[in-house]
Amino acid sequence: MAKPNSKTHELRCDGLTLQLDGKGAWRRIQADSATIELPGVPPRVFLRGQAAAVRSVSNRGDGLALELAGDNCGGVWHMTPEGGSIRSVVRIAGGGPHDCIRIELPLPASPGASLHVPTGRTYGHVIDASSPAGRDAGIPCVYRPAQFLAATAGIGALSLIGCPSLERRPHDSWGPAWKSGGFADGAVLWAQIECLADEPWDLAVDASLNEAVRRYHDHLRRDYGARPWAEAGGAPQWLGDIRMVVTLDMLRSQGEVAHSYAHLRDLCREMASAAMGGGVLFYLPGYHNRYDAGYPLYGPCDELGGAGGFREMIDAVHQAGHRVTIHCMVWGADPCQPFFEEVEDLAAPVDEAERRPGFKPVGPYAGWPSCMPPVALDYDSGSVPLDAAAGGEAAIFRTPAIPRPMEAYLAVSGVRNFAAGRLRVMLHGREVRSRPGELAGGSCRFRFPLRFQAGVNEARLAFAGGRPDLSHAAFRISDAICAEPGSTWTHPIVRMDVTNPRWISILRDRIAGVVTEFGIDAVHLDAGNIVTRAWVPIHEALREALPDTLFGCEFLAELGHGLFHITQGGSVPPPGPHRLTDLSWRLNGPYARVYFHLCKAQAFVPAGSVCNHDPVAAQLSQAQRELAERQWKEARNWNILPNIRLNYRDHGLDPRTRAAFVEVLGSK
């Protein structure tokens, strides 16, 4: 319980005592395992980004209440005993559901003191006596892969562990809900955390950093249902036999066939004939349609070889001792395909209060707008006569010469005798329809963008509900965007309501159907991070339908530690002034194996990627060659599965890639 006197306040719980003064300055933390003398300066508090000071400290229930006040903000910092830790919750007066608070805690910068931040998916950084001083030279307070921060002082480890309900997210976050960082400033080591207001985080002292990590694992299992991948009931046993991941791009968004099913079939046969060992997980983005298109239809693609070619490919993968994972999407539907109308009532409208970095307007809905960041183009075709060659239920028309590849919106005007009809425009794999009744005034603007290639484009305009008079019709192409070379550019995706039982059933049946029919080993759920509890039912439905299937994700969040046992997001740490450790691996490693993001996996030869529309280069640059070699050589040092991208279509099993395969898989 809290015991104040004229100079100090103490908050006590099982084996732990925090002592602070009337202005909130932390003096000492005592635990059974250690006593940590603190610098005796107040913590720095920021409410919605505005500085607030501790004005008073008082008893409240069995804990303490620190009154916070700033020029234009106020709140209360509640501290209460919680088992063997001290639980903090900061509330903002008049706060909203997405408001965040930042705390900077002063810790001693003694010669043996260090601050441990989980910076990467498998590595961490340390601030200690050897680190450069100053806020700008510290580790920035940004979103991290674990809600954990620790400081060691030679005789114990102080940990801060975020324990939010995960019912809400910050305004600027697609995934994580916790930022951490820190810096050294003279005799003080400042530990920084930022999280949602009204959500708890725990402070504890353990005998060692290992014990603090164990405390974090206990929290994950207890509060979020985490399950280690090697534990019974976790991942399929074969996950432990995977030696490397091969990213094999298939149908790119702009329509290029990077690899067909026959390419992977032939590759596996070539590897088998060379007596290479098994253990490759082949990851196939764009296996079912143009990449990021066609969701949620996940059957084999005719352009790549159809159902027969797909089955033959899967058989060849398994016969060579390997596994395959398909690329799917939990929350998205392709608005440029006929199936979208069947699920359009489940689409999420654009909501300014709910915007996230990954959710922007796609027509009238929220979603992925196909490129990030979009570059606006100064192109407008103006009104162009729709000189269509009509025949039956469709017409063909040609655009003016388009100056460069782009996405843009198409509008049609001057349509007569078609008030109750609908137009359907088809171009380069996209199909967009006018809305019912939209043509009553003789014009329409198609809601979703089309993709235009450089030069003259030939589009098909189909009719439903009669035959329109197009003799006075015209069209206009406007609001064009593109992406810079190397930037992400795929296909527009509309965000769906993942909590709706009908959407859950559609997604479950579509994914489970193809996995079961073709004997697929694993499913990658892109951007499917379980970041709030609202997303849990859709993932539980998939796990129930496919209990023996491995599930992977793009960026693993803590609430997903019970389902996802392989994740992208691995990276080789860049050079920097702070000492490296394997902290994040110790925190996250028990739950998932790690490989590189699909847009970051490198190739030893020029290769096209589904992540953009860039043409395949004639040769790699020196920087690309060096990056590929560095990733290959250093991945295992940071507990990342060896992972390379292939271009088997153009280069076959080239000598450098073959050598890499033999290095990992061996050869008889």
- For 281-325, the pLDDT digits (tens) are 999 999 999 999 999 999 999 999 999 999 999 999 999 999 999
Q: Are residues 615 and 640 in the same domain?
A: yes
Give CA separation, 268 vs 258, 286, 444, 477, 662, in Å.
Answer: 17, 19, 50, 45, 14
Does residue 356 have a pLDDT over 80? Answer: no
- In-domain check, residue 556: yes
Longest alpha-carbon distance in the chain: 93
- In-domain check, residue 346: no
Which distant-in-sequence residues (6+ apart) come within 8 Å of 452 by Cβ? 399, 402, 405, 406, 407, 408, 427, 428, 477, 480
- Here the tokens at position 334 are 């392709």
Q: Are residues 267 and 158 in the same domain?
A: no
Give CA separation, 255 vs 139, 291, 339, 508, 648, in Å.
Answer: 42, 9, 20, 27, 18
- What's the pLDDT score for residue 4? 42
Q: Are residues 196 and 268 in the same domain?
A: no
- In-domain check, residue 235: no
Q: What confidence tens digit (pLDDT) does each residue in 478-491 have?
A: 999 999 988 999 99
- What's the pLDDT score for residue 417? 94
Residue 619 is classified by DSSP as S
**Which CATH number does the domain housing residue 606 bear?**
3.20.20
- In-domain check, residue 565: yes
CB of 351 closer than 8 Å to CB of 379: no
| Average pLDDT score, the chain | 93
Does residue 599 have a pLDDT over 90? Answer: yes
- What's the pLDDT score for residue 391? 64
Instruction: Over range 5-30, report the average pLDDT.
Output: 85
Q: Are residues 144 and 257 in the same domain?
A: no
Q: Are residues 384 and 273 in the same domain?
A: no
**Number of structural domains in the chain:** 3
Q: What confidence tens digit (pLDDT) does each residue in 544-554 have?
A: 999 999 999 99
**Which CATH number does the domain housing residue 440 bear?**
2.60.120
- What's the pLDDT score for residue 1? 44
Q: Are residues 32 and 97 in the same domain?
A: yes
pLDDT confidence of 37, banded at 50, 70, 90? Answer: confident
Whose structure tokens read 């046993």? 237
Per cent of the chain over pLDDT 90 is 82
pLDDT confidence of 3, banded at 50, 70, 90? Answer: very low
Q: Are residues 432 and 500 in the same domain?
A: no
Q: Are residues 44 and 88 in the same domain?
A: yes
Q: Are residues 65 and 139 in the same domain?
A: yes
DSSP conformation letters of 306-338: HHHHHHHHHHHHHHTT-EEEEEEESSEE-SSST
Instruction: Over range 211-224, report the average pLDDT.
Output: 96
Instruction: Tell which of 458, 482, 506 closes a domain.
Output: 482
Q: Are residues 198 and 322 in the same domain?
A: no
- In-domain check, residue 490: no
Q: Which domain holds residue 156?
A: 8-224
Which residue, 411, 399, 370, 377, is CA-closest to 480? 377
Q: Which has more pLDDT, 178 or 171?
A: 178
Does residue 528 have a pLDDT over 80? Answer: no
pTM, 2 dp: 0.95
**Which CATH number does the domain housing residue 106 bear?**
2.70.98.10
Q: Are residues 268 and 386 in the same domain?
A: no
- What's the pLDDT score for residue 287? 98
- In-domain check, residue 638: yes
Give the lowest-confidence range in 212-221, 224-233, 516-525.
224-233
pLDDT confidence of 352, banded at 50, 70, 90? Answer: low
